Structure 1
Amino acid sequence: MGLYKKWCKSTKEKDKRKHYWTYVERDGGRDEICDVLAETIRSHYDRLERIAEDVNRLGYKVASEILRAAMPQTVKGRSGDLGEILATEFVEEEVGLRVPVRRLRYKDGRNMAMRGDDFIGAGYDNKGEKLWLLKGEAKSNKVLGKATVTSARNVLNRDNGRCTPDSLLFVANRLLESNDPDDNELGRSLRDEVGVKSLHADRIDHMLFTVSGNGPHPSLKEDLDAAGTNRDHYAVNIHVQDHQNFIATIYMKAEDLGDD
């Protein structure tokens, strides 16, 4: 069972190509996924095998310091990063597309937001032939409001609704550096798409992913209702009532590798 199924109860509404999904924490769900989520957070900043090597060579305390150096230390930085982490895991678990590159491993400043699309899902159609993309914006707020939703929609609509070329090329090049032939094949497809722009809108889905303390603001549904019908649209909210305390607690756990 995946992270979200253990953690949350969901309500899913669908109207043609529009998906409105809301999630609230189950009783005891947070405790059940706490260790898994902490490890997941670590994996978005570095490979777990590399962290394990640090532990073996230097011990838990020093390895924790190395990991902490990659993680944001500001409230805003942690909130933004956690939004992207949860969105990435969500796409792979609930939508079934890959988010093939963990962007946060490539940040040039741990408290700085990365430029470009927040997350890109990629895969192929049911026949395994045609490339399929998902362009996503992730927002993590103590209080979600209309201004945030409108800003995210404006970003999704940029570049005629396509993934930005620099974001797509970044993902493509990381995949082409892999030793996995499947990664190389997907990377080649993405790199080609940067040049030929052959994908129609109906194969570039959009997702507005939100995590908030106040739950889904009415503007999230209103924004979805106003969206076009030429692609799949996902509007998602994860309601975490003690939003900021949750972030502080889970990052503290993620940074602590233990002492035994």
Structure 2
Amino acid sequence: MRVTQADLDLAGRLADAAGAAIRPYFRSAHGAELKEDGSPVTLADRAAEAAMRRLLDAEAPGDGVVGEEYGEKPGVTGRCWVLDPIDGTRSFTVGRPIFGTLIALVVEGWPVLGVIDQPIARERWLGVAGRPTTFNGAPVRTRALPELAGAALATTSPHLFGAAEVAPYMALVASVYGASTGQGPVYGGDCYNYGLLASGHLDLVCEAGLKLHDFAALVPVVEGAGGRMCDWNGDPLTAESGGDVLAIGDPARVDDVLEAMRSA
């Protein structure tokens, strides 16, 4: 599962190409419409994924590709590039620069390279299995969390949890914030939250209903910064995982988080 310098260079070019396609549409006419599943898509989403696929067709034609907008292209190498051109399209459509382009390299089902790229602020997290995560080229680390109480917990939206997922999430919220009326989770952010966690600004992210293109890139970024990513059972995230995802900045708190959620 070795990641080569050529892979890193290609990932950087993919992020650059996506950003160049996205920026002209930001806070401009972006042609938003709803897909069959009710989620939004814009001209920027489609242009960014198309740009990345052109590069992959030219430079890694044997690798598979999975993208949110244009589906799956089977490969013959055991390697697959997983693309989400705009993770956080709702934020993009209202002019909030807290969305990101996600690029992952998955080898035999395991995410080994991940990029979170925010093309407006020009912020880029790069994670590679076995190496320190970087933010704009400089190493970053998650922060220590002595206890669960008082952690900074984020999720994109509580409305995205299904009926069976609400109780475990709310049990986690109760364990973190107790009866406090002045504190609560951070809402909004999509993939940007995971970059903030990797840089030591958040402690926990809890999500449900994610797809491979939503979480594959996040795994190397968070874990290369010293954190842990897993599903709600505590199992590692692979191409076969479901959509219940936890990011925990301090691995010493993994059992505490799981215990809190199981108490629901």
The two structures share one fold, judged by TM-score above 0.5: no
Shorter-chain TM-score range: under 0.3
The structure that is strand-richer by fraction is: 2
Which structure has more relative contact order (CA 8 Å, sep 6+)? It is: 1
The structure that is helix-richer by fraction is: 1
Question: Given the two structures, how large is their TM-score scaled by the length of structure 2?
Answer: 0.26
